[in-house]
Amino acid sequence: MSDASLNSASTTQPGEAGFGDFFALLKPRVMTLVVFTALVGLLAAPVAVHPVVGLAAILFIAVGGGASGALNMWWESDIDAIMKRTAGRPIPTGRVARDEAFAFGVTLAVFSVVMLWLATNALAAGLLAFTIFFYVVIYTIGLKRWTPQNIVIGGAAGAFPPMIGWAAATGTISIESVLMFALIFLWTPPHFWALALFMRGDYDKAGVPMLTVTHGRRATRVHILAYTVILSVMAVGAAFTQIGGPVYLAVALVFNALFLRDAVAIWRRDEGQAEADDYRVEKRAFRLSLWYLFAHFTAILCEAALRGLGMAGWT
């Protein structure tokens, strides 16, 4: 063994992870989506929440989401090490031990649920606990490696934050929060399948039964179009409900037209065309999908703000 290898071992010794390594376990990029959508759910609710209570609720929802991410990384460290996209995560690189990640995740999960309960109400805390359970046990441990519909199931877990935010403010589940759930739930499959089309090598190597692997890339293109059509109908239709209004409708019409255009383009292409231009359309659809969700939830937030000023809705 050379000195170089000894030195590199000392920098990746388990138990000596930096603060940033533990923060990385929380999947901060996913957490931004959780924070944003939960915040919209909280602010769109027709019940005023004290700013400190609202801040605490969002923080604890974010911590709960982060705990799910840490437990996901704990369970998936074997396939994370194989995939290029995830090989740099704290566990595959040895900066954090698996046991540490597990303890960290469980502690934060319990902490976030209890604190959300104390800060807001039992329903919000129960929904957060269910979300963590669903994402870690049902999706990550149970179904992700067994079914090509894994993305659809995982999408449900990611769709809960606005519903939790709404419940934190109102103490109830209502049609509005279910619509926000549906928006993310239906958006997730075309978003991730577009990614899977141009990140093909990763999922193949890891043996994760992505739709692209089990049913082929043609079937994936058809699925993307089908989900995008259903999503568009739902997303535009939501404009005529309590969370919608003229602003939301304008945003929904523009972004759904763009997303449908890309989904149709993906459906019409074959692998030869996609490889020839390095998956240009698939990558464009993936980038657009990120803006799509952000735009819709921002529009919901705008409608809620305007409603507060007595200026929104269709009346």
Partner 1 sequence: MSFREEHELHKRRFGRNLGLGLVLAGFVALVFGLTIAKVANENFALPQTTQQKGD
State the minimum distance, in angstroms, from the CB of residue 314 to partner 1.
Answer: 24
State the minimum distance, in angstroms, from the CB of residue 177 to partner 1.
Answer: 15
Q: In terms of DSSP H, where are the helices of 147-279? A: 150-170, 175-198, 200-206, 211-214, 216-237, 246-268, 271-276
Count of C-beta atoms within a 10 Å radius of residue 109: 23
How far apart CA 50 and CA 79 sit, in angstroms, is: 43
> Would you mind telling me the total number of residues written for the chain in this entry?
315
Task: For residue 63, give both structure tokens.
Answer: 């911590």
State the minimum distance, in angstroms, from the CB of residue 168 to partner 1.
Answer: 9
CA distances from 270 to 65, 103, 136, 144, 282 (A): 37, 46, 35, 27, 11
Please say which residue, 122 or 290, places its beta carbon nearer to partner 1.
Answer: 122
Please say which residue, 91 or 231, places its beta carbon nearer to partner 1.
Answer: 91
Please say which residue, 122 or 257, places its beta carbon nearer to partner 1.
Answer: 122
Report the candidate in 35, 181, 116, 157 with the shortest Cα–Cα distance to residue 43.
Answer: 35
Contact 85, 47 (CB under 8 A): no
State the minimum distance, in angstroms, from the CB of residue 10 to partner 1.
Answer: 7
Please say which residue, 23 or 291, places its beta carbon nearer to partner 1.
Answer: 23
State the minimum distance, in angstroms, from the CB of residue 169 to partner 1.
Answer: 8
State the minimum distance, in angstroms, from the CB of residue 60 to partner 1.
Answer: 9
State the minimum distance, in angstroms, from the CB of residue 118 to partner 1.
Answer: 8
Contacts of 119 (CB under 8 A, 6+ apart): 53, 56, 57, 60, 168
Q: Is 171 left (phi over 0), alpha (psi -120 to 50) or beta?
A: left
Which residues in this chain contact partner 1 in the complex, by CB under 8 A? 10-11, 13, 16-20, 22-23, 47, 50-53, 55-56, 59, 118-121, 170-171
Give me the sign of the Cα torsion angle 123, 129, 135, 137: negative
Please say which residue, 119 or 263, places its beta carbon nearer to partner 1.
Answer: 119
How far apart CA 176 and CA 128 sit, in angstroms, is: 18
Please say which residue, 131 or 170, places its beta carbon nearer to partner 1.
Answer: 170
Please say which residue, 32 or 172, places its beta carbon nearer to partner 1.
Answer: 172
Please say which residue, 72 or 120, places its beta carbon nearer to partner 1.
Answer: 120
State the minimum distance, in angstroms, from the CB of residue 121 to partner 1.
Answer: 5
